[in-house]
Structure 1
Amino acid sequence: MYDLTGFQRDLLYVVAGQDEPHGLAIKDELEDDYEKEIHHGRLYPNLDTLVEKGLLEKGEQDRRTNYYIVTTRGQRELEARRDWEDQYL
């Protein structure tokens, strides 16, 4: 996870905390926390990067909607990050 941006880490956490969220559900969740609009041009390329890195898997809910799930590798990365954070908190 060392090579991810803070936004990409946040995306990974949000996907991990939901059951097969679609892009707009992820966007809404982040906007609640960030308190500002997140544009599609920022959201989807970063989700695609996480898919390319093998941290997320993208599935098709219907012809227009994709969903995302955390891969086994992504879960291991999240757990390692939490262990690292816990040593400082």
Structure 2
Amino acid sequence: MHDLTGFQRDILYVIAGLDEPHGLAVKDELEDYYEQDINHGRLYPNLDGLVDKGLVEKGQLDKRTNVYTLTQRGRREIAARRDWESQYVDFSE
């Protein structure tokens, strides 16, 4: 995950947390988080990049809507990132 941008990492986390992660749902979640519009020209190339890296699979929900799911590798990368973060940040105290 070290070669991903922060935006790409955020996309992975959003996909992991949605029941039906299609492009517009991912976009809406990111817009809520960033508190600004996310244009298609930013979102979809980043989604495709995550597919190319083998972290996300792209399928079709219907003829017009793509659905995105984490691959096993994508889940491992998120888990590894969370383990790494927990070395530095621990709010359980």
> TM-score of the superposition, structure 1-length normalised?
0.98
Q: Partners in 2 of 1:18 and 1:27 — Cα distance? A: 12
Deviation string 1:36-79 (CA, Å, 9 cap, x unpaired) is 00000000000000000000000101111000000000000000
Structure 1 unaligned spans of 5+:
none
User: Which residue of structure 2 aligns with residue 39 of structure 1?
Assistant: 39
User: Which residue of structure 1 aligns with residue 88 of structure 2?
Assistant: 88
Q: Partners in 1 of 2:63 and 2:75 — Cα distance? A: 27
Q: Partners in 2 of 1:21 and 1:84 — Cα distance? A: 26
User: Which residue of structure 1 aligns with residue 50 of structure 2?
Assistant: 50
Q: Partners in 2 of 1:53 and 1:20 — Cα distance? A: 21
Q: Partners in 2 of 1:35 and 1:51 — Cα distance? A: 26
Q: Partners in 1 of 2:75 and 2:35 — Cα distance? A: 27
User: Which residue of structure 2 aligns with residue 26 of structure 1?
Assistant: 26
How many pairs align?
89
Q: Partners in 1 of 2:50 and 2:14 — Cα distance? A: 13
Structure 2 unaligned spans of 5+:
none
> Over alpha carbons, which structure has the higher Rg?
2
**Deviation of residue 35 (structure 1)?**
0.2
Q: Partners in 1 of 2:69 and 2:6 — Cα distance? A: 19
State the percentage of identical aligned residues.
73
Q: Partners in 2 of 1:49 and 1:19 — Cα distance? A: 21
> TM-score of the superposition, structure 2-length normalised?
0.94
Matches within 5 A, 1:11-22: 11-22=11-22
| Alpha carbons 1:54, 1:74 under 8 Å: kept | yes
